[in-house]
Amino acid sequence: MMKKVEAIIKPFKLDDVKEALNAIGIQGMTVSEVKGYGRQKGHKEVYRGAEYVVDFIPKIKIEIVVAENLLDQVVAKIREAAYTGKIGDGKIFVTPVEQAVRLRTGETGTDAI
């Protein structure tokens, strides 16, 4: 069984998270630059008296598919590496994955990740 871990983190924490995952043998990840907001909300910018609230804050989304037995360790490592204790640290979502295929070799399942 495989699980997908999606972690929304602060952009400057990406390198820490990557190194922490490499250290436990995770060999790949997909990263995107995303924008969004949660409890952190946006921030206010004022240009010559005109106030604009910037709702969407830049974040990094990491997607990793892992074998189920590694899941708890991966989630713990991401949390540890991306943690600052301040509002806006991010979230981790875990979903089941039905299949994975490595294009080059045709391997499937956990062999492909």
Partner 1 sequence: MIKRWWVGCLFGMTGIGCMLAAPSAWAADAALNSGDTAWMIVSTALVMMMTPAGLALFYGGMSRYKNLLNTLAMTFVAYCLASVVWVMWGYSLAFGPDKGGIIGGLDFFFFAGITPASLEGTIPTNVFALFQMTFACITVALVLGSIVDRMKFSAWVIFTVLWVTFVYCPIAHWVWGKGWMASMGALDFAGGTVVHINAGVAGLVLALVLGKRIGFGKEAMFPSSIALTALGAALLWFGWFGFNAGSALVADGLAGSAFLVTNTSAAAAALAWMFTEWRINKKPTVLGIASGVVAGLVAITPAAGFVGLGSSILIGIAAGVLGFFSVARLKLKLGYDDSLDAFGVHGMCGTLGALATGLFADPAVNAAGTGLFFGNPMQIVIQLVSILATAVFTAVATLVLIYLTKALTGGLRVEEENERIGLDSAVHGERAFEIE
| Binds partner 1 (CB under 8 A): choice among 52, 69, 93, 107 | 52
Which span (14-22, 31-39, 48-56, 105-113) binds partner 1, by CB under 8 A?
48-56
Alpha carbons 74 and 72: distance in angstroms, whole number: 5
Alpha carbons 81 and 57: distance in angstroms, whole number: 20
Q: Are 5 and 64 in contact (CB under 8 A)?
A: yes
Could you give the angle at the alpha carbon of 53 between the alpha carbons of 51 and 54, nearest 5°? 130
Q: Does 68 bind partner 1 (CB under 8 A)?
A: no
Nearer of residues 19 and 45 to partner 1, judged by Cβ: 45
Q: Does 56 bind partner 1 (CB under 8 A)?
A: no
* Residues with Cβ within 8 Å of residue 86, at least 6 apart in sequence: none
| Binds partner 1 (CB under 8 A): choice among 25, 50, 103, 104 | 50
- Residues that bind partner 1 (rule: CB under 8 A) add up to a total of 9
By the criterion CB under 8 A, which residues form the site for partner 1?
Answer: 45-50, 52-54
